[in-house]
Chain A
């Protein structure tokens, strides 16, 4: 029963979702929208689950005096401060509320900093990828140089054919391989969905029995 019930629910919900794609009737579409509404409700409760998990993890680290418990103090302090400011501060809806000030001046800049690190990682990854050790890597290097030059005015200045070659690389071999991957992905998605709906794939339940 512990396994049959989730499998039965999965089968019913999966078949309904697949079938509703072909039925435009209001009765079916309205029910589908209702199902999506339930999903949103479920998500809201799930965040509570996540918060409990986060608090429990860091509490255990502090209680067990783990080496990196300092980070746990910071995480829990940040969490409780923001929850407190968001829930109990009288002007929490105001743009100048402490909650918004903290969010805009701490969270947003930190995230922007993390994002900006991407530029350095792109440089280091490119350095590693463009070492012409093999024929494939050399081709990649040449193609990348042509594409980069073709995307800036300097490329056209060097030779008028460079932007044309760039466009060709992007629109022919690049797009063809992308489409090849995407066709495979589409079929893979369908096959995986089907296997789960039909109960063939059960690893998501933690086992095959």
Chain B
């Protein structure tokens, strides 16, 4: 344009000025748009294939698992910072006996977990661990930590509070049993249901009808069944004295074997061994409702004057008790099954509630030693009640802010 040394004319200058201004305006308005377009282009570009490295978990620490049977260690770590971005899907734990090589997969926990119990280790052997944050493909390992040694414990420190409670309980029982042995008079409140056993046996004798004793559907490993067997022994003595037939259908063969012995011994103890009939203590079935059908059949055919339900019962309780009520029997029940108690209370004449079942044997036999045990049990229950009230007051005060919530912390047993 400036060829041949010619001066630029005013018109030419104006044209250049317009072009420059136009370019400046274009730069001013178009560049941001271009920049945005560029950003769009960058976004639109295909993702890079280069791996995105995850931040590994930090602060890995490993200790022998407390209060265990041995063969395990517990790992804890700080979560990977990439968890916040949702990049981490889980953590993989690798283990080796050598810090430099041989690491093998041991287990996996989902994102958000910061602890893992590595079990199946050999007690006394040294192990090294590392933990990887993973997104399903990439693994980013922590530092290697070790050696750690697993070993078993001989005492579960987490249960020390239970041990203390058990010791107090045992001492209370032993103290009261000893007191009873020394001849100390012990008061025991009346249990109308058990007072009625004598009358019920007498009634059956007068009517010439049998007594039906049902010791629940549970097995011999249930304490309620054992309590029922203890009561059966006392009831059998009374039926033997009155020479009244006692029918005991059993739902468990071991319970049957024990109950046969108990009844036989009871008959022998009152001097009537010949009155005992092995066929009156028999096995019916283990099946719940088949047992109900069998017992209901006995009730309807034999029409017992008295029916005793003692032990653990389930859904069959009401079917049994209502059938018993329909045949006009006096019914005495005792169970620790909280859900079945309302049914027995409704359908039976007398019901032993919960712990009364366990007290029944001592109550019926009136043996001082057994009553001593009962007294010890009541004393511990009183202590538990006092502790509950204290706990209630402390919890209420802590909730209202009157006392710090953790002032009892030094007493906590953490194991």
Contact = CB atoms under 8 A, between A and B. Distances in A.
Interface of A: 18, 21-27, 29, 39, 42-43, 46-51, 53-54, 56-57, 60, 68, 71, 107, 110-111, 114-115, 117-118, 121-122, 124-126, 128-129, 178, 181-185, 187-196, 200-201, 203-209
Interface string B354-378: 1101110110010101100110110
B379 to A, nearest CB: 10
A68 B301 CA distance: 8
B229 A204 contact: yes
Contact of A187 (B163, B170, B227, B380): B380
Contacts of A46: 252-254, 257
Counting from the closest, the 4 A-B pairs by CB-CB distance are A206-B265, A50-B253, A188-B358, A188-B355
Nearest to B323: A121
Given A25-B69, A26-B69, A191-B173, A203 B357 contact: no
Interface string B161-173: 0110010011001
Given A118-B315, A206-B264, A183 B282 contact: no
Nearest to B262: A206
Interface in B278-336: 278-279, 282-290, 292-293, 297, 301, 315, 318-319, 321-322, 336
Contact of A184 (B71, B173, B354): B354
Contact of A122 (B159, B177, B318): B318
Interface stretch (B91-99, B103-111, B127-135, B150-158): B150-158
A204 B301 contact: no
Interface stretch (B29-37, B76-84, B141-149, B338-346): B338-346
Contact of A191 (B221, B345, B373): B373
A99 B262 CA distance: 37
B283 A50 contact: yes
7 contacts: A21-B159, A49-B253, A50-B286, A110-B293, A115-B289, A200-B177, A206-B261
B67 interface: yes
A51 B290 CA distance: 15
A78 to B, nearest CB: 10
B233 interface: yes
B233 A114 contact: no
B169 A121 contact: no
Contacts of B342: 129
B70 interface: yes
A207 B233 contact: yes
A181 B341 contact: yes
B234 interface: yes
A118 to B, nearest CB: 6
